Amino acid sequence: MFFIPALNLRKFKILEAIITDYIETAEPVGSRTIAKKCGLGISSATIRNEMSDLEDLGLIGQLHTSSGRVPSEKGYRFYVDSMMQSRSLTAEEALSLQRMLIENIYQAEYMMQETAKALARLSGYPSIVSEPFLKKTAIKHIQLVPLDEKSLLLVLVTDTKTVKNQVINLPSAPGYETLTQLSAHLNRCLAGLSIREINRELIDKMLKDFGAHAHVLMPILGIIADMIQSEDDVRVFTSGVKNILAFPEFADKNKAKAIFQALEDRESLFAILGQPFEASGIQVTIGEENNLELLKACSLVKASYSIDNQSNGCIAIIGPMRMDYVQAVSVLSGILQNIQYVIEALERGAR
Amino acid sequence: MFFIPALNLRKFKILEAIITDYIETAEPVGSRTIAKKCGLGISSATIRNEMSDLEDLGLIGQLHTSSGRVPSEKGYRFYVDSMMQSRSLTAEEALSLQRMLIENIYQAEYMMQETAKALARLSGYPSIVSEPFLKKTAIKHIQLVPLDEKSLLLVLVTDTKTVKNQVINLPSAPGYETLTQLSAHLNRCLAGLSIREINRELIDKMLKDFGAHAHVLMPILGIIADMIQSEDDVRVFTSGVKNILAFPEFADKNKAKAIFQALEDRESLFAILGQPFEASGIQVTIGEENNLELLKACSLVKASYSIDNQSNGCIAIIGPMRMDYVQAVSVLSGILQNIQYVIEALERGAR
DNA sequence: GTTAGCACTCGTACGTGGGGAGTGCTAACA
DNA sequence: TGTTAGCACTCCCCACGTACGAGTGCTAAC
């Protein structure tokens, strides 16, 4: 948020008209268009003078002499910070979200793909949604399932209702009976704990209590720690990537391709979402403000959702700098609310 | 496969030269190009005469008078059936596949996404890979995991090592002890069976043996049947969708968008892969041969992989009709072999 | 049967010129 | 002093005509 002293109300309104018009049409905006549209009752000549001032302030620019004006990054930034007013979701949008909630929300992981879809459909931009990071998440239940004589399956249910599987290979896996006992033991000791609470002391105690199976317990404990600690199992969903093609900004094949490439690759998705997901509220980063080279011609609208007041997951949409920020922010915040609502419902259900 | 009597060796070679050149360049092929390239030692005039004949046979066509020749769908069909010789994977390609095998292959589901990636990377076309359909797959292990007082988690491991989870909501869920007993009971009765072997008689017997928990057992049995019967849980992976943008055939935004749309949507992916996946070997469908309107301007190269000699899953790539069929078929068959190899390794490991 | 030659077709690239949208500047006006 | 009409100027865009080149089909000669 920054303040521009030279900006009187008329300039403010003209700037607003330029930006909204350009967001809508993707065409440079001329003084006559503004004269007709902004309803200030002043002539295009006066507006030309004002536009010249706005250009001096660095809020708008020209592609070439005698072209209309185009918002600059600084212009967009000012618009996002000081001009635009967020709106609520329309009845239609809200209804569409409600439908999303009705089915398959018990497990957090089902919700994510659906959230990505809703985000893309309602906003018209490609969306990215990450599963919650598990770092601060607690273990709810552990189950060991026999597979064959050399392997077993570890099923981990967290308090966010996410279910994770991992096959564990051993020189010789215990039988069903032993696994059942081990499962019970693991649950007694670990259920309700988060990764931070699993310490050396606890592990020593567990091994002591169940020493006969230490050779099985050790690798299992290691893997459990890995599972809830590493982000490797955190999936990231995208939707509506094709929406990019609707924007003239990405008419160039190579630009479109770069975006598609990035949105297909896990690593670059993480890079886009950024680490850590600590920031709260909705963040808008415009053009050069983005650290990633790939995004320097784009804008990113991003929000974190939290579980148990711990910021854990991230939802975002990507678009051209000429993005409909009002639409983007309102859809994102609407969906954010819904996610929180669902998560809280899950939490309540879990206790 | 069809036979064209009028096609002597020279015409055959000219047709081959036209098709391979067009596949490479996407430009209509002229008689002089062929004269220089095909090495038959005949002049362009002679080739023009032959081309005229080939056009009469419907194997090639012209975009307009005085343009070069372009293969027709019939031409491509003849090429695929009778002309092209498949090649083996190059050392580089084979190595790339080997790398894919090294990690994360124990569970079939990990392999699928990797397979899709490899397929797209090696072929240069968008790829689609489906998980194995479970219809003929047998149950390996069932485990009931307590969640809370109103819900439990059903974990189903199949003999293809696919693991599926489903939350089951009940008015009142049994405790840990009961679930452990129920799990044991379910495994005793169902392990090793496929969906076809689960009949009324068996269910009656199970309910009789465990009548006290019939109200829990009934919904569980229903869900197990659903899980292995329905295709709802079969995931389909895509990769390299962006590759489409490399082809002039999809320069039109709307065409590209239609493909992106289709490859993002589960339903249309199933429609593309087609049902059932019974056919063996590699199938090529060209242009109008495809039932789907969307694919009438494309070619689809598809293969099924099987588990235990039952055709169960499907891998495919999509491209323009001017597809590099040699490349496509060789990559697809190379990857198919690898999938089979991995699956057999899993099977051996499972016994 | 093959080929050189030629007239013809058609798409593409290129230069040109007009129209239109837009600007900045100036001078007149309230 | 701020506003506005008018004007010259810039520059993009499009339509048009032309030249060129790639390619064909046909004919006649080998």
CATH of the domain at B119: 3.30.450.40
DSSP B309-331: TEEEEEEEEEEESS--HHHHHHH
Same domain, B79 and B95: no
The number of folded domains in chain B is 3
Tell whether A302 lies on the interface with B, counting CB pairs under 8 A.
no
Q: Give strand pairing partners of A301.
A: A284, A317
Distance CA(A138)–CA(B85), nearest Å, equals 57
Same domain, A241 and A126: yes
- Write the pLDDT tens digit of every residue in A274-297: 865 566 689 999 999 998 999 999
Within 251-280 of A, beta carbons closer than 8 Å to B belong to 251, 253, 256-257, 260-261, 264
pLDDT range class, residue B270, cuts 50, 70, 90: confident
pLDDT range class, residue A229, cuts 50, 70, 90: low
Buried b vs exposed e over B254-290: b needs ≥16 C-beta within 10 Å? ebbbbbbebbbeeebbbebbbeebeeeebbbbbbeeb
Residue A3 domain flag:
no
Considering only A49-58, A167-176, A255-264, B51-60, which range has the smallest mean pLDDT? A167-176
Mean pLDDT of chain B: 85
User: Any residues with CB less than 8 A from the CB of B187 and at least 6 apart, and which?
Assistant: B141, B142
Same domain, B261 and B311: yes
Tell whether A45 lies on the interface with B, counting CB pairs under 8 A.
no
**Structure confidence at residue A4 (pLDDT):** 78
The whole domain housing B216 covers 139-229
State which of A190-194, B41-45, B163-167, B231-235 shows the largest mean pLDDT.
B41-45
Determine which of B103, B105, B106 to mutate to test the interface with A (most A C-beta atoms within 10 Å). Answer: B106
- B67 CA to C8 C1' in angstroms comes to 13
Q: Would you say B57 and B63 are in contact if contact means Cβ atoms under 8 Å apart?
A: no
CB contact under 8 A, A155 and B157: no
Tell whether B196 lies on the interface with A, counting CB pairs under 8 A.
no
User: Where does a domain end: A229, A260, A283?
Assistant: A229
pLDDT range class, residue B278, cuts 50, 70, 90: low
Same domain, A146 and A270: no
- B298 CA to D17 C1' in angstroms comes to 39
Mean pLDDT of chain A: 85
Say which nucleotide is closest to residue A46, CA to C1' distance: D3
Q: Is the pLDDT of residue B160 over 80?
A: no
**Structure confidence at residue A310 (pLDDT):** 61
Tell whether B350 lies on the interface with A, counting CB pairs under 8 A.
yes
Same domain, A104 and A243: yes
Distance to chain B for A265, nearest Cα, Å: 10
Using CB atoms within 10 Å of the CB of residue B157, give its burial: 0 to 12 exposed, 13 to 18 middle, 19+ buried: buried
- Write the pLDDT tens digit of every residue in B213-257: 888 888 888 788 767 655 446 789 999 999 999 999 998 888 999
Q: Would you say B140 and B157 are in contact if contact means Cβ atoms under 8 Å apart?
A: yes
pTM for this prediction? 0.79
Q: Which residues of A touch B164 (CB under 8 A)?
A: none
Q: How many helices (H) and strands (E) does chain B have?
A: 12, 10
Residue B251 domain flag:
yes
Say which nucleotide is closest to residue A45, CA to C1' distance: D4
User: Where does a domain end: A46, A64, A83?
Assistant: A83
How many Cα neighbours within 13 Å face the side chain of B318?
31
Residue A1 domain flag:
no
Q: Would you say B15 and B60 are in contact if contact means Cβ atoms under 8 Å apart?
A: yes
Residue B2 domain flag:
no
Q: What is the mean pLDDT of residues A148-161?
A: 81
Tell whether B139 lies on the interface with A, counting CB pairs under 8 A.
no
Q: Would you say A186 and A165 are in contact if contact means Cβ atoms under 8 Å apart?
A: no
Same domain, A52 and A99: no
Residue B3 domain flag:
no
pLDDT range class, residue A12, cuts 50, 70, 90: very high
- One-letter identity of residue A157: V
Tell whether A241 lies on the interface with B, counting CB pairs under 8 A.
yes
Same domain, B264 and B322: yes
Tell whether B281 lies on the interface with A, counting CB pairs under 8 A.
no
Considering only A192-201, B141-150, B184-193, which range has the smallest mean pLDDT? A192-201
Q: Using DSSP, state whether B266 is helix, strand or coil.
A: helix
Please state, for a pLDDT cut of 90, what percent of chain A lies above it. 43
Residue B49: give its domain's CATH number: 1.10.10.10
Distance of CA B297 to the CA centre of its chain: 19
Q: Is the pLDDT of residue B14 over 90?
A: yes
Considering only A23-27, A166-170, A225-229, which range has the smallest mean pLDDT? A225-229
Q: What is the mean pLDDT of residues A222-250?
A: 81
Considering only A12-26, A64-78, A92-106, B269-283, which range has the smallest mean pLDDT? A92-106
Q: Is the pLDDT of residue B129 over 80?
A: yes
**Structure confidence at residue B320 (pLDDT):** 97
Tokens 């439990």: give the residue. Answer: B152
The radius of gyration of chain A from alpha carbons, rounded to an integer in Å, stands at: 26
Q: Is the pLDDT of residue A243 over 90?
A: yes
- One-letter identity of residue B239: S
Residue A82: its H or E element: none
Residue B308: its H or E element: none
DSSP B178-221: HHHHHHHHHHHHHTT-BGGG--HHHHHHHHHHTGGGHHHHHHHH
Residue B79: its H or E element: none
Residue B23 domain flag:
yes
Same domain, B112 and B52: no
Q: Which of B161, B169, B256 sits opposite A245 (nearest CB)?
A: B256
**Structure confidence at residue B166 (pLDDT):** 81
Nearest CA in chain B to A260: B242
Q: Nucleotides on strand D with an atom closer than 7 A to protein CB?
A: 3-6, 9-12, 22-27
**Structure confidence at residue B110 (pLDDT):** 67
Using CB atoms within 10 Å of the CB of residue A188, give its burial: 0 to 12 exposed, 13 to 18 middle, 19+ buried: exposed
Q: Which residues of B touch A245 (CB under 8 A)?
A: 253, 256-257, 260
Residue B4 domain flag:
no
Q: What is the mean pLDDT of residues A238-263?
A: 93
Other C-beta atoms lying within 10 Å of the C-beta of residue A254: 9
Same domain, A265 and A344: yes
Same domain, B330 and B245: yes
Token readout for A4 is 């521009």
Q: What torsion do the CA atoms of A251, A253, A254, A260 make, to the nearest 10 degrees?
A: 90
Q: What is the mean pLDDT of residues A206-230?
A: 77
Q: Is the pLDDT of residue B87 over 80?
A: yes
β-strand pairing of A151-158 with A139-148: antiparallel
Say which nucleotide is closest to residue B46, CA to C1' distance: C2
Distance CA(B38)–CA(B50), nearest Å, equals 13
Backbone angles phi, psi at A60, to 5 degrees: -135, 170
Q: Nearest 5°: CA angle at B111, between B105 and B112?
A: 165
Same domain, A260 and A118: yes
Q: Which residue has the higher pLDDT, A220 or A18?
A: A18
Using CB atoms within 10 Å of the CB of residue B36, give its burial: 0 to 12 exposed, 13 to 18 middle, 19+ buried: exposed
Residue B123, CA distances (Å) to B99, B117, B240 in order: 16, 10, 10
CB contact under 8 A, B141 and A146: yes
CB contact under 8 A, B153 and A140: no
CB contact under 8 A, A242 and B257: yes
Residue A236: its H or E element: strand A236-239
Residue B1 domain flag:
no
Residue A16: its H or E element: helix A9-25
Same domain, A124 and A159: no
**Structure confidence at residue B288 (pLDDT):** 94
CB contact under 8 A, B245 and A261: no
- Closest to B274 in 3D by CA, of B292, B248, B261, B257: B292
Distance CA(A337)–CA(A236), nearest Å, equals 20
Q: Is the pLDDT of residue A62 over 90?
A: yes
Determine which of A104, A121, A143 to mutate to test the interface with B (most B C-beta atoms within 10 Å). Answer: A143
User: Where does a domain end: A196, A229, A262?
Assistant: A229
Q: Nucleotides on strand C with an atom closer than 7 A to protein CB?
A: 2-5, 8-11, 21-26
CB contact under 8 A, B153 and A151: no
Buried b vs exposed e over A47-72: b needs ≥16 C-beta within 10 Å? beebbeebeebebbbeeeeeebbbbb
Residue B199: give its domain's CATH number: 3.30.390.60
Distance CA(A169)–CA(A171), nearest Å, equals 7
Distance CA(B263)–CA(B271), nearest Å, equals 10
